Amino acid sequence: MYGGILCYNTYMKKYSIGIDLGGTKILTALIDKNNGEVAGFVKKKTKKEKGPENIVRKMLDSITEVMAETGAGLSDISSIGIAAAGQIDRNNGVIIGAPNLECYDLNLRQIVQSEFDIPVFLGNDVEAAAIGEMKFGAAKGVKDFVCVFVGTGVGACIVKDGKVIRGATGTAGEIGHIIVDLNGRPCACGAHGCLEAYASRSAIEKRIEGALKKGRHSVILDYLTDGKSITSNMIRKSIEREDELVTHCVDEASAYLSGGLASIINFINPELIVLGGGLIEAVDYFYRKTIKNARLKSLPVPAVKIEFKKAALGDFSGVIGAAYLEEC
Ligand SMILES: [Zn+2]
């Protein structure tokens, strides 16, 4: 009898809501917990300049909208998982600091839980992506791996025995802030010479923009019309056209990133490194060069077994992973 009720409850709550709270978009999806499939989603622009209250309101509205669109009710949903880029206090469900969202000390769990009365879990964006990749993507079936995402910064998540390693204060995985040059470039964190000041997409953009301001020529100018800013696809197209400046800046970032990956390989000895983010997805040249050099720069024994894969879930990795934050 008890087993019957348990089965009934499990059946009733077959969904979770996963939310990817990013600097440009808020993606909210209803995820089927049995197979990780996206049953429906709502996408909204973040518009962080309008303030945290506006972001929170949009997020709450998107939860209501995705439920209305899919016909799911609160009784069908076991949890709401929220992944945000930034420092998260997972135990208390608080965003400590998310510069991309301009949100600080925001008790998101309390707000969302009081509105919907469903358990709410918070995690950071790379952590959610790693969970998604472990459940249904490039790391399916792998117990020890590291996920590295290259974007505005360089973030990582370490998974050991199928569990996310969070560290004493929940900030493990900040590979972007390992120091690669003691007197190097300033980093957004306040330190100097952090890896992400050299190897992130924004570092590449800054290098290209700096050179263009000094009068260097590049075919990337053909795409930078009407005040557009540099995108990963523009970088790919410029490399395909063998542009000297863009290729040099990408090579430089790749050299630093491969050094960072070699450090991970030597330090943690994982089976697999999953690489993701817009630049990795769009610029295969960058991905290939980085993994080749990472292997060469690693110690011989850990380098033999290490495998590299591109993240497989694309734009939905964050929402899928967020839906499983309650388990990992
Ligand atoms: Zn830093």
Q: Is the pLDDT of residue 277 over 50?
A: yes
Ligand 1 center to 195 CA (angstroms): 7
Ligand 1 center to 197 CA (angstroms): 7
The residue among 84, 74, 63, 68 whose CA lies nearest residue 15 is 74
**CA separation for the pair 220, 58 (Å, rounded):** 35
pLDDT band at residue 168 using 50, 70 and 90 as cut-offs:
confident
Ligand 1 center to 191 CA (angstroms): 5
Mean pLDDT within 150-176: 90
Ligand 1 center to 124 CA (angstroms): 17
Ligand 1 center to 269 CA (angstroms): 24
Structure tokens at 249: 């800046």
Encoded amino acid at 309, one letter:
K
pLDDT band at residue 24 using 50, 70 and 90 as cut-offs:
confident
Mean pLDDT within 218-229: 94
Ligand 1 center to 257 CA (angstroms): 14
Ligand 1 center to 188 CA (angstroms): 6
**What domains, with CATH codes, occur in the chain?**
2-132+316-323 (3.30.420.40), 141-311 (3.30.420.40)
**80 class by beta-carbon count within 10 Å (0-12 exposed, 13-18 middle, 19+ buried):** buried
Sheet strand arrangement including 15-21: 37-45, 25-32, 15-21, 77-84, 120-124
Structure tokens at 73: 């009710």
Q: Is the pLDDT of residue 9 over 70?
A: no
Ligand 1 center to 153 CA (angstroms): 9
Q: Strand pairing partners for 106?
A: 95
- Cβ–Cβ under 8 Å, residues 311 and 147: yes
- Cβ–Cβ under 8 Å, residues 309 and 139: yes
Ligand 1 center to 288 CA (angstroms): 25
Token pair 């301001």 is at which residue? 213
Ligand 1 center to 227 CA (angstroms): 29
Ligand 1 center to 259 CA (angstroms): 16
Handedness of CA 146, 156, 220, 294 (dihedral sign): negative
The residue among 104, 109, 116 whose CA lies nearest residue 72 is 116
Number of helical H runs and strand E runs in the chain = 12, 13
The residue among 117, 122, 119 whose CA lies nearest residue 106 is 122
Q: What are the tens digits of pLDDT across the range 86-135?
A: 888 888 899 998 888 889 999 999 999 999 999 999 999 999 999 999 99
Q: Is the pLDDT of residue 158 over 80?
A: yes
- Cβ–Cβ under 8 Å, residues 323 and 81: yes
Q: What are the tens digits of pLDDT across the range 123-135?
A: 999 999 999 999 9
Ligand 1 center to 263 CA (angstroms): 16
Neighbouring residues of 236: CB distance < 8 A, sequence distance ≥ 6: 282, 283, 284, 285
Cα 99 to Cα 16, 76, 95, 146: the distances in Å are 27, 34, 10, 24
Cα 105 to Cα 52, 93, 112, 216, 239: the distances in Å are 10, 10, 15, 43, 42
Dihedral angle, C-alpha 62, 68, 73, 77, nearest 10 °: -40
The residue among 325, 318, 324 whose CA lies nearest residue 28 is 318
